Amino acid sequence: MSHVQLRPRAPLAPGARGLLARLDRLDRTPYALAVAALLVAVVAVRLWSVSRWTWVDDDWIYLERAGSTGLGPYLVQNYNGHLMPGEFLVVWLLTRLAPLAFLPAVALVALTAAGSAALWCRALAELVGPRLRVPALVALMTLSPLLLRPTMWFASALQVLPLQLCTALVVLFAARVARRGERADHLGLVLSFVLGLLFWQKALLLLVPVTAVLVFTSGDRFRVTVRRHLGVVAVLGGVTAAYLALYLWLTAVDPGQRDMRASLAADRSVGDAVTVFARAAGDLLLPGLLGGPWGTMPVEGDKGARPPLAVLLVCAVLVAGTVAVLAARRRRAWQPLAMVVVHAAVSWSLVLFSNRFDMLGPEAINDERYHADVLTVAVLALAMLSTPTVAEDPAGAWRRPWPAWSGSGRLRVVAVGVLVLSLVVGNVSALVRIGTHPGKAWLAHVRTTLPEGEVDLVDAYAPDDVLSAAFWARSARVSAMLAPLGDRLDFAGTGSPLHVVAPDGRVRTARVDPAVRAEPGPVAGCGYAVGPATPSRVPLTGELFDYDWAVQVDTVAGSSGRLVVELDGQDLELEVPRGLGAVQVAFTGPVTEAVLRVPPGEPTLCVAGLVVGPVRPAG
C-alpha cells in the first residue's frame, strides 16, 4: 500500500487572514442577503438603463452654462423657477473633470440609486425592524418603471434621486428622534432636510413624511408630539422660512418677464384639477404601486399613452382593497394615509398650477419625475400600515388579529415572486418603448472623430433627434453643445480647412456645395487679379437669401497674404497661402454681389474661382 505524504499548507499572509476574518463576520442572515441582492439589482438596472442614453434636453444647457458662467452665479441661477445649487455643483464638477463624458454620469446615477436603496432599507429597519418585507418594499420604490426615464435623463436624475435619498434620511432620523431624541438625531434630521433643499425646492415637502413619522412613531396626538419635539420643530420651521425667503428672492423676475414658478393665481378649474389628479393616480401611481405600468409608459412620440380601462379598474380594485383591509385592522391608519393624500395633493398641484400646464394641459402630469416622490411616500405609508413599528407592542398595533394563514411563508414567497415578475415586465417593456437615444451615437462619433489640437468648425444646428432646434433654439447649435470642450474649438468659421459635424456626428473636412459661382475672370491664367489698388467686383451666377453659408476662394499667390471678400457689405477676411490655395470662410447673410480686395501693403494675387453655398461634409 502506497503512502502519499501531504505537504503542509503554507500559512496565510496577515492581509489574507484579515480579509477572511472580515468575510466571516459578514451578516449572512436572510435579511442581509436580500438587501445585498436588492443593491446589486439596483446598480445593474441603472447601469443598463442610463447607459442607453446620453446628455439630453436641459442637460446641454447645464453643460454650456457650466463653462460660460461664474461658479457663484451658476449655482444660484433661476432655472425656469427652480433653485438647485447642489445639482448645478455636480454638473460643474463633471464638466471640469470629464467634459461631455457621459460614463461618469452613468456611474454617479447608479451609485446614488444604490445609496438611496441602502438608506431606505436602513430607514425602514429603524422604523419597523429588519424584516424581510423591507427589501421588497424598497424594491417597489427604487426599481419601479416610473424611475426609468427620470434617472436616464441626467438633469432629472439629479432632482429625483437626491430627493428620494434625503427622504430616507429624514425618515431615519425622524424615527430615531421619536424614540430617543438624542442631539445627534436632531442634527441629522435638520442637515438631511437642508441637503434635500440644496438639490430641489420640492424638498420642502419632506416636512410631510417627517411630521407623519414623528406622530405615528411616538403614538401621541399631533399637538403633544409638537410640544415634545418643539426644539427640532422650531429649527425646521426656521430653515423653511429662511429658504422660502431666499427662494422667492433668487427666482424673482423683472416686470414683463415670464415667471416660471407655480402660481395659485393661475386660471384653473375644478375640472382641470379632477383630470390631473385622476390621471396622476390612475395612469401612473396605482400601477406603480403594483410594479407597473406595463407597456403604457408615456414616451417620446406617445406622451399621451394611458393604460386600458380594464387595467385601470384592476389596479384601482387591488390597491383600494389592500388599503381598505389594512386600514380596517391597523390602529391610527389614518395618519400614514393622510401623509400620502397631503403629499400627493401638494406635489400634483405644483404641476397643475405651473407654466408647464399652460403649455401642455393635462398631459403635463404624464411626466414620471413628478410621481417619483409620491410613490416613495406611498410605499413608506404601506410599510407603516402593514407592519408594527419597533416602538409598538405588536399585539396592540392591530384592532383585531390577523388569521393564521396570512403569515404563511409560502404566501409571502408567492407575493414577492409576483412583485419581482411585475417589476421585470414593467421595466423591460418600458425600456423597449424608450429605446436608445439617437444622441448617444451622435456624441460618441463627435468625441472619437474630432481631430487633436485646435479645430475650426462650422457652426450649425444638431439633428432634431439629438436636440430640436425648433424648441431649444440657439442651445441646439453645435457651438453651444460642444462648448465644454473649451477654446480648442473655433467656431468663427475663418480657418482653413474648415470642419463640419456631419448628421451622424462624425467630424469631417468641409466642402462648399456651390449654390452660386463667380463668373470667369477677365485675366487669362489668373481669373481676377486683385491688389491693394485694384479691387475687383465679381459678377455672380445668382443670388442667395439671408442664411448660413460658406464661401470658398481658389487662389494663386506668389507669397502668403490676406484677401477680403465683401458680400453685400459684409467683409470676410481670409488668410491666403503661397502657391495654390483653396480657402474657406463661413458666414451668415444674403448674397447678391461680391467684391474682392486686399488690404494695403499686401501682395497682388489671383482669384481663379469663387463659390458660395451650404457647407457639406467632404467625402
Cell of 599: 488690404
Using only C-alpha atoms, the chain has a radius of gyration, in whole angstroms, of 32
Low-confidence ranges of the chain (pLDDT < 70): 1-27, 404-409
Whose CA is closest to 510, among 488, 495, 524? 495
What residues have CB less than 8 Å from 377, skipping those under 6 apart?
Answer: 167, 208, 209, 339, 340, 343, 344
Contact between 501 and 457 under an 8 Å Cβ cutoff? The reply is yes
Burial class (CB in 10 A: 0-12, 13-18, 19+), 499: buried
Cell of 414: 408567492
579-591/544-557 β-pairing: antiparallel
- What is the pLDDT, as a whole number, of residue 395? 77
Contact between 343 and 373 under an 8 Å Cβ cutoff? The reply is yes
Other C-beta atoms within 10 Å of 99: how many? 16
The Cα–Cα gap between 505 and 443 comes to 6
- What is the pLDDT, as a whole number, of residue 25? 53
Residue ranges of domains in the chain: 25-253+268-276+298-392+410-434, 438-511, 513-617
The Cα–Cα gap between 44 and 42 comes to 5
The Cα–Cα gap between 290 and 140 comes to 8
DSSP assignment of 287-346, as one string? HHTTT---S---BTTBTT----HHHHHHHHHHHHHHHHHHHHHBTTTHHHHHHHHHHHHH
Cell of 169: 434620511
- What is the pLDDT, as a whole number, of residue 18? 54
The Cα–Cα gap between 425 and 383 comes to 24
Whose CA is closest to 307, among 295, 322, 325? 295
Q: What does the mean pLDDT of the chain come to? A: 90
- What is the pLDDT, as a whole number, of residue 20? 47
pLDDT digits (tens, 9 = 90+) for 200-210: 999 999 999 99
What residues have CB less than 8 Å from 77, skipping those under 6 apart?
Answer: 65, 69, 88
- What is the pLDDT, as a whole number, of residue 15? 55
DSSP assignment of 494-547, as one string? -SSS-EEE-TTS-EEEEEE--SEEBPPPSBTTTBEEEBTTB-EEE-BS--EEEE
SS3 29: coil
Whose CA is closest to 378, among 320, 464, 439, 436? 320
Q: What percent of the chain has pLDDT over 90?
A: 74
Whether omega before 617 lies within 30 degrees of 0, making that bond cis, reads no
Whose CA is closest to 34, among 440, 419, 320? 419
- What is the pLDDT, as a whole number, of residue 615? 92
Left (φ > 0), alpha (ψ -120 to 50) or beta: where does 70 sit? beta
Looking at the DSSP bridge assignments, the partners of residue 536 are 596
pLDDT digits (tens, 9 = 90+) for 356-379: 899 889 999 999 999 999 999 999
The Cα–Cα gap between 136 and 131 comes to 10
Letter string b/e over residues 355-379, b meaning 16 or more CB atoms within 10 A of that residue's CB: bbbeebebbbbbbbbbbbbbbbbbb
Superfamily of domain 513-617: Galactose-binding domain-like (2.60.120.260)
Other C-beta atoms within 10 Å of 474: how many? 10
Cell of 612: 458660395
- What is the pLDDT, as a whole number, of residue 256? 80
DSSP assignment of 223-249, as one string? HHHHHHTHHHHHHHHHHHHHHHHHHHH
SS3 488: coil
| Residue 403: φ, ψ to 5° | -65, 155
Calculate the CA 148 to chain-centre distance. Answer: 11
Q: Is the dihedral of CA 229, 378, 153, 116 positive or negative?
A: positive
Contact between 592 and 516 under an 8 Å Cβ cutoff? The reply is no
- What is the pLDDT, as a whole number, of residue 2? 46
Whose CA is closest to 102, among 26, 155, 141, 178? 155
SS3 605: strand
